């Protein structure tokens, strides 16, 4: 009997590539997304079930999990992939944007995990793969919200691994670098208020850096392969880095320490030194 994987945010990018990879390798795939019509091609595959799931909608989460179990009998791997990045000066960011960012990237991840856990607990087996980011280890200016959510994912995942390990459930973290998806487009939400002149040099510097950051991005298929490794290797390893740029940045942070790394980032972005 084939194993079953449930993936959030599977309409495009990393989620779509992961759904296609696991389906090709004989898994049952539950590809969930806010707009199921975007998964029409996936739905044509015999071993793929496309379901609506909005991580901020509890009813849709419960419905998708129930449909997965009804169709395939189990959920062996959960990939919490749905998310987006909110950037911009905090002072120029609305309370609604703050709430939406954390509801999607943090609370939504927790709610989907909670909904799947009874299934895995009954099985006494399973793997939860949470998609973090190199941005869960290092930060860029104006990323207060996005990096806050990804650092949260890192901590939540590590803590959760302690309570689930005795139940036979493994928790994994995948940390991609720049990936050639629409993250710098549809999934990139930038807030700014040009009337606050003090922030505008930083805004222009960061927007320029984002463009160059994605210039040599890795394909989403690379992350899908790392997710497959994390989901199937049955090791105690908890973190998996995806992309050479992510490996280099994380290694630099660990080698140089906080202050030296942050100064290096300032220099690369052409930012002025801190006032003092």
Each residue's pLDDT tens digit, 52-75: 999 999 999 999 999 999 999 999
Whether 112 has a pLDDT exceeding 90, the answer reads yes
Q: What is the pLDDT of residue 185?
A: 54
Write the CB contacts of 225 (distance below 8 Å, at least 6 apart in sequence). 21
142 or 1, which is more confident? 142
CA distance 49 to 172: 24
Q: What is the pLDDT of residue 56?
A: 98
What is the average per-residue pLDDT within 148-173? 98
Taking alpha carbons only, the member of 168, 161, 138 closest to residue 237 is 161
Q: What is the chain's mean pLDDT, rounded?
A: 93
CB atoms within 10 A of CB 95: 7
Q: Report domain extents, the chain.
A: 4-243
> What amino acid positions are annotated as catalytic residues?
132, 146, 150
Picking from 34-48, 91-105, 170-184, 234-248, which range would have the lowest pLDDT averaged per residue? 170-184
What residue ranges in the chain does DSSP mark as E strands? 4-7, 28-33, 48-52, 77-80, 85-87, 126-131, 169-176, 188-190, 239-242
What is the average per-residue pLDDT within 78-100? 96
Q: Which fold has domain 4-243?
A: Rossmann fold (3.40.50)
What is the average per-residue pLDDT within 216-244? 95
Q: What is the pLDDT of residue 276?
A: 60
Q: What is the pLDDT of residue 215?
A: 73
Reported pTM: 0.94
User: Where residue 160 falls among pLDDT bands split at 50, 70, 90?
Assistant: very high
pLDDT one-digit tens code per residue, 167-221:
999 999 999 999 886 555 556 789 999 999 999 999 988 887 777 777 778 899 9
């Amino acid at each position: 009997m084939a194993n079953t994987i449930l993936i959030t945010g599977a309409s495009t990018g990393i989620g779509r590539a992961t759904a296609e990879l696991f389906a090709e390798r004989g898994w049952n795939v539950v590809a969930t997304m806010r707009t199921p019509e975007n998964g029409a091609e996936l739905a044509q595959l015999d071993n793929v079930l496309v379901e609506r799931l909005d991580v901020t909608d509890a009813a849709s989460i419960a419905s998708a999990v129930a449909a997965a179990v009804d169709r395939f009998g189990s959920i062996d791997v959960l990939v919490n992939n749905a998310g987006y990045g909110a950037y911009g000066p905090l002072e120029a960011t609305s309370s609604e944007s703050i709430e939406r960012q954390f509801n999607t990237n943090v609370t939504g991840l927790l709610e989907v995990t909670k909904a799947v856990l009874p299934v895995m607990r009954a099985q006494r087996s399973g793997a939860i793969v949470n998609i973090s980011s190199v941005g869960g280890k290092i930060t860029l200016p104006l990323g207060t919200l996005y990096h806050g959510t990804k650092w949260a994912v890192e901590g939540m995942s590590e803590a959760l691994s302690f309570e689930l390990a005795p139940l036979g459930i493994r928790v994994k973290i995948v940390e991609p670098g720049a990936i050639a998806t629409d993250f710098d487009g549809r999934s990139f939400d930038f807030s700014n208020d040009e009337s606050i002149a003090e922030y505008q040099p930083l805004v222009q510097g960061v927007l320029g850096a984002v463009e160059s950051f994605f210039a040599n991005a890795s394909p989403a298929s690379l992350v899908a392969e790392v997710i497959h490794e994390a989901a199937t290797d049955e090791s105690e390893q908890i973190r998996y880095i995806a992309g050479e740029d992510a490996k280099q940045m994380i290694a630099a942070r660990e080698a140089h320490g906080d202050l030296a790394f942050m100064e290096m980032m300032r220099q690369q972005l052409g930012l002025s030194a801190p006032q003092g």
